[in-house]
Amino acid sequence: MTKIISNNPFYLFYFTIHELMKPFSLCLMLAFILPNYILFMIYDFELQQALPDFHQLIKEKKSIDDFGERNDYIPNIQQNLENLEIIINKNTYINPDNEINQKYCQNSQCKFLFVYSNSEPETKTNVQFINTFAHLANKLNRTLVLTNVGTSRIDSCNKFPFEFYYNIDYLKEKFPNLSLISQDNFQFWTNERIEKPNFHYLHLSSSSSTSSTSSSSNSSNDVPIVEDIQLDNDGGDINCLKNFEMNYNNFNPYQKILFRSDLLLKSSYRKNISKFLISNLKNSNSEILLIKNEINKEIFPSHNNNNNNNNTTTTTTTTTTTLSNPYSDSINHETWKINVALEPFVAIYWKMIDINDSKILLDCAKKLINTLKILKENIHYNNIYLATDYPVSLDFIQSSSSSYSFSYRQTRHYRRAIHLLNTTMTINTWYSLNAFDKIIKRKENLEEFKGKGITNILDKLVCTSSDYFITAPSECTLKSSNNFIKDIINVREKLYYDYDNQKIQNIISKW
């Protein structure tokens, strides 16, 4: 065999390489094994330093068993065993909820403020949410849950995300340090948590001075009344909270806070109750502040002197002066398209639903037509835009029959008034101008367009930006406080007086 190898150059080369690789392989193995061995020895040494001396413990235990003495050593032994358990747990257990919290809050601990139900509709709701609850979350250093919206309300039962109505960037601009999370992501967080999060339930409500004076001490000062309550788990107060996997146990605090409704307009009272809320909630360890709000006014006093009641801030361009608003880009885009299509134009707001006497609607329509004819002679306008709470198409009238308390006889008066307007002059509405044409085609979104909801916001913005704005006299509309008109007046006054916007021909007029 040796002779064959020596006579064959190939085998000789192979044999030489094979012999040379042996020491190289040995070095390679040592390069991998030796560092790991050193690391293991270092770890074992550090662990031995941290662990108690078991030989000493055994000796002490034996000494106690043999002699029944040195009872003072027993607590020390127990403590050492507890320390051993802590060391083992720290080295082997990682709480998965910390990773879940880090995923959604960028922190090992999450603290949220979730207004799951807000009773007030648009246009008050955006003022409350931004000026009250965003402000409160910011003060308490909690992440604000951006509750879903729909049918002109902020409510967890609605299906549209917060940005369907509102501009999140506007909110971030007002509160740059405020953390935000969508309702969907908040729900995912509760579902993924192994140990379900606890909460502090707050029901914010108001009462008159007479009904809130159950104790003389409370009636003589500005301190809100705090009552312990029970949450109705069969419905009612529970709303859509069943979609969120929280820890519904008897140890969560359930409270109702009553504010004096007759004092909420006073800034001094709002200042006192805002301090009360912050001081009582800032040290709460609950992971969620769960709020049901029935207050129809701002709780916090205005913290920015540049903000008016409808949450607008001013921005100046080279061509005109405009006011930004808290609404979404899609709503503002539809407003811009209508302005371009109609300008110059007159906007009419007619709230006719639930009028006391529907028989006078036809006379009101005739009076409106005469006003428009006179207006045409005095100012130059090309088009008319009608904002109304009455369904603006036959499709909506038929599908909304259950939504409005119309009898056939009442419906006849409404239809006659609208028909007279349409046959006398061209009346434009959001529907006739195909606003939100992509969204409205989906059947599941039909409810949003039955006179309330996103179209209500669009009507407000169009009326605000119109060249001339008129509304119904008291006998032709429902007599009630109308925040819709108040918001329009506030912005138009600012544009007309403070910024000299030449487009605005009047603030408001009645026909």
Q: Are residues 58 and 186 in the same domain?
A: no
pLDDT at 446: 81
Q: Is the pLDDT of residue 457 over 50?
A: yes
CATH assignment at residue 412: 3.40.50
pLDDT at 278: 93
User: What's the farthest any 2 CA atoms get from each other in the chain?
Assistant: 127
Give, to the nearest 10 degrees, the angle between helix 408-424 and helix 361-378.
Answer: 20
Q: Label residue 494 by pLDDT band (50, 70, 90).
A: very high
Q: Which residue has the higher pLDDT, 409 or 501?
A: 501
Q: Flag whether 324 is in a domain.
A: yes
Domain of residue 398: give its range: 313-510
pLDDT at 215: 43
Q: Flag whether 136 is in a domain.
A: yes
Q: Flag whether 132 is in a domain.
A: yes
Domain end residue (candidates: 259, 293, 327) = 293
Q: Are residues 245 and 192 in the same domain?
A: yes
pLDDT at 234: 44
The predicted-structure confidence for 10-26, as pLDDT tens digits, reads as follows 556 655 666 666 676 67
Q: Which residue has the higher pLDDT, 40 or 491?
A: 491
The predicted-structure confidence for 459-493, as pLDDT tens digits, reads as follows 999 999 999 999 999 899 876 657 889 889 999 99
pLDDT at 398: 46
Q: Are residues 219 and 282 in the same domain?
A: yes
Q: Flag whether 220 is in a domain.
A: yes
Rounded mean pLDDT, 183-193: 97
Q: Which residue has the higher pLDDT, 87 or 190?
A: 190
Q: Does residue 491 contact residue 484 with C-beta atoms inside 8 Å?
A: no
Rounded mean pLDDT, 382-386: 95
The predicted-structure confidence for 336-359, as pLDDT tens digits, reads as follows 999 999 999 999 999 888 788 888
Q: Flag whether 405 is in a domain.
A: yes
pTM for this structure?
A: 0.74
The predicted-structure confidence for 202-233, as pLDDT tens digits, reads as follows 999 987 654 444 444 444 467 888 888 876 65
Rounded mean pLDDT, 131-159: 93
Rounded mean pLDDT, 126-130: 76
Number of DSSP helices (H) and strands (E) in the chain, helices first:
18, 15
| pLDDT > 90: percent of the chain | 42
Question: What are the φ and ψ backbone dihedral angles of 209, each rounded to 5 degrees?
Answer: -65, -30
Question: What are the φ and ψ backbone dihedral angles of 228, each rounded to 5 degrees?
Answer: -80, 135
Q: Are residues 90 and 160 in the same domain?
A: no
The label of the residue with tokens 């769960």 reads 290
Q: Are residues 318 and 207 in the same domain?
A: no
Count the Cβ atoms, other than its own, within 10 Å of residue 263: 15
The label of the residue with tokens 């003072």 reads 72
Q: Are residues 163 and 232 in the same domain?
A: yes
Q: Are residues 363 and 388 in the same domain?
A: yes
pLDDT at 77: 52
Q: Are residues 275 and 227 in the same domain?
A: yes
**Beta bridge mates, 378:** none
pLDDT at 116: 94
Sign of CA dihedral 433, 435, 437, 440: negative
Domain end residue (candidates: 96, 121, 154) = 96
Q: Are residues 329 and 473 in the same domain?
A: yes
Q: Are residues 388 and 460 in the same domain?
A: yes
Number of domains observed in the structure of the chain: 3
pLDDT at 10: 59
| 71-85, 123-137, 326-340, 483-497: least confidently modelled range | 71-85
Q: Are residues 270 and 351 in the same domain?
A: no
Q: Flag whether 308 is in a domain.
A: no
Rounded mean pLDDT, 135-152: 94
Q: Are residues 29 and 131 in the same domain?
A: no
pLDDT at 45: 67
Q: Flag whether 102 is in a domain.
A: no
Q: Give the contacts of 132 (CB within 8 A, at least 6 positions apart).
A: 295, 298, 299, 300
Q: Label residue 145 by pLDDT band (50, 70, 90).
A: very high
pLDDT at 81: 52
Buried b (16+ CB within 10 A) or exposed e, 382-408: ebbbbbbbbbbeeebbeebeeebebee
Rounded mean pLDDT, 28-37: 70
Domain end residue (candidates: 293, 321, 345) = 293
Q: Flag whether 298 is in a domain.
A: no
Q: Does residue 206 contact residue 273 with C-beta atoms inside 8 Å?
A: no
Q: Is the pLDDT of residue 277 over 70?
A: yes
Average pLDDT value for the chain: 79
